[in-house]
Amino acid sequence: MKSETKVGLLFLGSVLVVVLFSYYLGVLSPFSDSHTLNIMYNYAGGIEEGSPVRVMGIKVGKVRKIDFDPGFKMPSGEEVKLRISISVEKKAWDSIRKDSKYFINLAGVIGEKFLEISPGSLEASALTPGETVRGEDPPRIDQLISQSYGLAGKFLEIMNKNEGSLTSTIAQIDKLITNINRTLVLVDRTSKNPDIARLIDNAVKMSDDLTYLTRNLRSKKAEDSYELVHKLLFRLEGLDGPAIKKFFQEEGVKARLF
């Protein structure tokens, strides 16, 4: 073989290796079987171009591009300013529905960020490639920390300011509990006294009787009696003083006669 041919082969070989490299590193993807999807965020917590995209935990694509779009509004009118374009393999595309949610998560020992897509339900309609959807903004750990820091500061401040009164409150609570304890001891001791026991016993019996009485008072018979008394009183009302006097006098006369 001529040396020129050999050099040519070497050149072709190295071009081939470069192409292979670009294929494995995802720069070249001639057999692309993926769709793109735009996800809007207001805060994307450290996601980068090339971060993996996962559906139900399985890697199905990567973040292609991150754009700032200050003038963008969702159809709902919400202003969302960060557009993340991702590619998703076709095999996972049908699992993503209108009601899918787009989270930014953390994984691995080195804290690598990835975009997790929750599968949607079958009832929701499928997405069209290139559609723009709203992602779930990840919680701002830094904000959380600074807020809880402020909260802890305030709590400490209150503690420091009211240290005296807090101490006295605690002391009084302590006294109160001591008193309650003493009272409880007394009550305990009292309940063991035989006289008291009899007293309580009687009280119980009395209340039983009272119950019986009131039950009878409320019975049908008693109601009839009330009715009768009422009628009697009504009839008696028409009688004035002299009539009664006369009646009693007549009755008295009659009584005397007999």
Partner 1 sequence: MGSALLNLIPSLGRSVIQTQGLLSEISAFLFEVFKEIFRPPFRVRETIKQLHFVANESLIIILVCVCFAAMVTILESSFHMKLVIQNDSMVPGFAAMLILRELGAVVTALLLTSRVGAGFTAEVGLMKITEQIDALRMIGLRPIHFLVVPRLIACILGAVFLTIFANGICLYSAMLVSEIYLGFTPATFLLAMNRFVEMQDFWFSLIKAAVFGALIPLVSCFVGFRTQAGAEGVGSATTKSVVTSSIGIIIFDFVLSYLFSFFY
Q: Which chain residues interact with partner 1 by CB under 8 A?
A: 3-4, 6-7, 10-11, 13-14, 17-18, 20-22, 24-27, 50, 59, 109-110, 112
Q: Which is nearer to partner 1, 18 or 122 (CB)?
A: 18
Please state whether beta strands 52-55 and 58-68 pair in parallel, antiparallel, or not at all (unpaired). Answer: antiparallel
Q: Which is nearer to partner 1, 3 or 165 (CB)?
A: 3
Q: How far is the CB of 17 from partner 1 (least distance, A)?
A: 4
Nearer to partner 1, 15 or 159 (CB): 15
**Buried b vs exposed e over 93-116: b needs ≥16 C-beta within 10 Å?**
bebbbeebebebeeeeeeeebbbb
Beta carbon nearer to partner 1, 13 or 252: 13
CB of residue 27 vs partner 1: minimum separation in angstroms? 5
Burial of 40 (0-12, 13-18, 19+ CB in 10 A): buried
The nearer residue to partner 1, 32 or 125, going by C-beta atoms, is: 32
CB of 16 to partner 1, least distance (A): 9
Please state the closest distance from residue 104 (CB atom) to partner 1, in A.
Answer: 17
User: Tokens 């949610």 appear where?
Assistant: 101
Residues in CB range of 72: below 8 A, 6 or more apart: 40, 79, 80, 81, 83
CB of 7 to partner 1, least distance (A): 5
- Which residues are CB-contacts of 257 (< 8 A; sequence separation ≥ 6)? none
Nearer of residues 67 and 112 to partner 1, judged by Cβ: 112
Nearest distance in Å: CB 18, partner 1: 6
Distance of closest approach, residue 164 Cβ to partner 1, in angstroms? 51
Q: Which is nearer to partner 1, 20 or 171 (CB)?
A: 20
